[in-house]
Chains A and B, each alone.
Chain A
């Protein structure tokens, strides 16, 4: 459970020639980070993996089955996506929004039950937004909304997490808390693939990395093999200075 594979996957970035074909496997227990500068296609990749966008070619398999052959609900039960951008729809409370995460598990005629409510409340508490349960989403700060989005996916309880810049808008304390949560998901047998723009978070928390270059090129593999200064400098077009803290590398833009 929680296994995601791609085979010769070429994502569709409008206006750009075909990029590299990605053949990788996200195994249960792994935490993958996707790194790249703005416009490299990280969000496009995530949406493609979630089945929201069609790739130009190649196939995606979730738990061994072709993504295209699974129904939307089936996909939603296995795979959850934390979006980077959020639309303000019609007004709703925080609790209602988190509860939406149970949708893939309920048949159309079922109402949300006590168990569902419990899951939602637990998720809200875990993300430290339980005290806002009755507030309207539109009144929340950016950081609170980000945590609510993650709580919604936690309520959805998929084995496979796709997260698009999950630490956006979060202060240091909550950043660590969220990364802890994701690591925990992986440790319990799920898997995580997240886009990060913070190189150092990736270095600290991810055991595998996928580097997406703006021209479409890509390389992936175990974190140690990817965290090579020359590769990273080419990725970001920025000279980096490396330091070591707690046995993990830290990269800082060089003057």
Chain B
């Protein structure tokens, strides 16, 4: 790994401050960009006066009521998905895991679509989506636990099957729904920050996740060596694994109920960071929060300005950005 050694010594305080500092800077730049860019041009001096508390009414509305909450939601959702992805990859000891692999977004989608079919909206629909996600978590938990012997591959297989099951239910719901409800359902399924809820709750959860990651981090490093090895070194493996699963589920559920299923962030961001920063989860998890947030803010800014006034779903952009970047990094790391 050319050029990466100085950063990977776990004890070097500077070694962590540098990447995290850079990521914080990138986050702030991305947020600034999101506030400055939009389908309506707002000059930088106008932006500055709005920040100071002045500026004309239209600019204030655009920046403070439209762009700011949307950018913060994007940051929170991106961070949540990236951290959930990193946790899943440690849990399943598989670098191809992402937050949706255990069927969680499918459960949330079924909850949301069921609410839409019943004509419910707003908080009831969000609540229903959460309930669906929770149900999916319990289902996979229960089925994988089965008669005792539990391995990551069993969990993965159970999750894949449950996810496929939810997919079938979603298809059924789309097939039988009245025509006028379809646009709303498809809109939700595509994952979009245009209708994202208030950023407060997702941001709070992201912060909590990062705080919990600190004491949990070294345990995760040891767990990544293998469950027997970890148990021999004093890690309570089973409780830790279920804890990671529940935490990743909570993060993913919050992300999906805020903005629908946005793909790629949860898979690509942790992986990219691991290629550059090594495998200490104490660094990777907060870095994922920052990098995931930055990526999604940038992607969402592009989604709403690229072909304005037409608006693209952000999932399209995350795929278009994520895939080549990831391939490039993979190629470089050989």
Contact = CB atoms under 8 A, between A and B. Distances in A.
Task: Check if A and B associate.
Answer: yes
Interface of A: 47, 50-52, 72-77, 80-81, 83, 86-87, 89-93, 95-97, 99-101, 103-104, 106, 108-109, 111-114, 117, 134, 136, 156
B35 to A, nearest CB: 36
Nearest to B237: A72
B225 A89 contact: yes
Interface in B16-70: none
Contacts of A50: 232
Nearest to A47: B228
A87 B218 contact: no
Nearest to B93: A89
B233 interface: yes
A252 to B, nearest CB: 35
Contact of A83 (B216, B224, B232): B232
Interface of B: 1, 5, 8-11, 90, 93, 95, 214-216, 218-219, 221-222, 224-226, 228-229, 231-236, 274, 278-280
Question: Which of A77, A89, A96, A104 neighbours the largest number of chain B CB atoms within 10 Å of its CB?
Answer: A89
Contacts, number: 87
Contacts of A156: 233
Nearest to A75: B234
A109 B11 contact: no
6 contacts: A72-B234, A72-B235, A80-B232, A87-B229, A89-B226, A104-B233
Contacts of B90: 90
Given A52-B231, A134-B5, A91 B215 contact: no
Contacts of B280: 96
Nearest to B216: A108
Contacts of B226: 86-87, 89
Contacts of A87: 93, 225-226, 229
Given A108-B216, A111-B11, A117-B11, A90 B232 contact: no
B8 A83 contact: no
B221 A100 contact: yes
A73 B274 CA distance: 28
Contact of B279 (A76, A90, A101, A111): A90
B232 A101 contact: no
Closest 4 CB pairs of A and B: A76-B234, A108-B215, A104-B234, A73-B234
B125 to A, nearest CB: 38
Contacts of A109: 214-215
A73 B234 CA distance: 4
A163 B236 CA distance: 21
Given A96-B280, A112-B11, A83 B229 contact: yes
Question: Which of B11, B233, B279 neighbours the largest number of chain A CB atoms within 10 Å of its CB?
Answer: B233
Nearest to B223: A89
Contacts of B215: 108-109
Contacts of A74: 234
B199 to A, nearest CB: 29
A17 B200 CA distance: 60
A74 B236 CA distance: 11
A173 B266 CA distance: 48
